Amino acid sequence: MKTQEGMIQVDGYQVWYRRIGEGGIPLLTLHGGPGAGHDYLESLEALSAIRPIIFFDQLGCGKSDQPNDRSLWKIQRFVKEVDVVRQVLELDQIHLLGQSWGGWLGIEYMLSNPKGILSLTLASTSASMPQFIAETKRLKSELPSEVYQTMLKYEAAEDYHHPDYEAAVMEFYKRHVCRLEAWPDCLLRTVQNFEGNAVYETINGPNEFTVIGNLKDWNRIDRLHEITVPTLITVGRYDELTPACAETMRQGITGSQMHIFEHSSHSSHLEEPERYMAVLADFLARVESGMLH
């Protein structure tokens, strides 16, 4: 399998990318986090037999430069970064996939009216941070009482790194981030990328449901109708970015289709990989055959 790896200069810094596969229309992936790095998306390489798959670590995480400048960590800077990556790699025509934060970035990017996007896949994401925050608040309240009370106690004290709090958070993650008994290596590498990650803390906050960063009021529900390319929305039944978030996007994007993975949470491409790849491959093929407009 043909693989190309290297660095792209963005804002004077180095951004790492990898392109695997050849032939066909490329799939450009936008990873989550912010700050997660591409690692946990590696299972998408299964699609590289028929098209190039492009991963890149957004500035501030993974194998890319990690400048100590919090003023950089704004969604509009990341939108421009997608454009630079496309220009340098000559990605004139692409399918775009954004997972989690990558989906928010994908929505924001589409609202900048980019050229050459054949389709959009929004994986385990939402069009509104306030909706996401409300949904995680509900999911937390459904945890076992002692776990929930522990979370409330330490959140009230803003003690997000106490071992008891982190243990309670992990209970949430096991239910709503990845339900696999043993988390795969690629996901564990992503978890390591989050350690003290300034991008995550600046844009999001200390964890998945304490959203106090600069994106906390982001909401694009009323602009979803501006997205006119064929759109696939994927979500896990137990996803922290819930089916309700996915349904909001489905209603807002004309002609979009939604697939719920019944045995998954936030990582359905890892929790149900064969089913996920089949659904995604079928969608991309139908777009290219002209069946979806």
Specify whether 239 is catalytic: yes
Question: Band of the pLDDT at 212, cuts 50, 70, 90?
Answer: confident
Residue that the structure tokens 């591409």 belong to? 38
Q: Name the token pair of 214.
A: 């600069």
Q: Is 175 left (phi over 0), alpha (psi -120 to 50) or beta?
A: alpha
pLDDT at 259: 98
In percent, how much of the chain has pLDDT > 90?
92
pLDDT mean over 53-76: 96
pLDDT mean over 254-265: 98
Specify whether 185 is catalytic: no
Nearest alpha carbon to residue 200 among 96, 82, 62, 81: 62
CB atoms within 10 A of CB 155: 17
pLDDT mean over 92-121: 98
Q: Name the token pair of 99.
A: 């997972």
- 292, pLDDT greater than 80: no
Question: Band of the pLDDT at 206, cuts 50, 70, 90?
Answer: confident
- 43, pLDDT greater than 90: yes
Question: Band of the pLDDT at 279, cuts 50, 70, 90?
Answer: very high
- The catalytic position among 38, 39, 95, 100 is 100
In percent, how much of the chain has pLDDT > 70?
100
- 47, pLDDT greater than 90: yes
Nearest alpha carbon to residue 229 among 141, 60, 126, 115: 115
pLDDT at 291: 77
Give the chain's mean pLDDT.
Answer: 95
pLDDT at 211: 85
pLDDT at 293: 64
Task: Measure Cα distances from 40 to 185, 191, 260 in Å.
Answer: 8, 9, 20
Specify whether 176 is catalytic: no
- The catalytic position among 239, 256, 264, 268 is 239
Beta bridge partners of 27: 53, 95
Pair 85, 8: CB distance under 8 Å: yes
- The catalytic position among 38, 259, 266, 269 is 266
Cα–Cα distance, 102 to 291 (Å, whole number): 26
All structural domains of the chain, each given as residue ranges with its CATH number in brackets, are 3-288 (3.40.50.1820)
Torsion angle (degrees, nearest 10) of CA 186, 190, 192, 198: 170
pLDDT at 255: 95
Question: Band of the pLDDT at 205, cuts 50, 70, 90?
Answer: confident
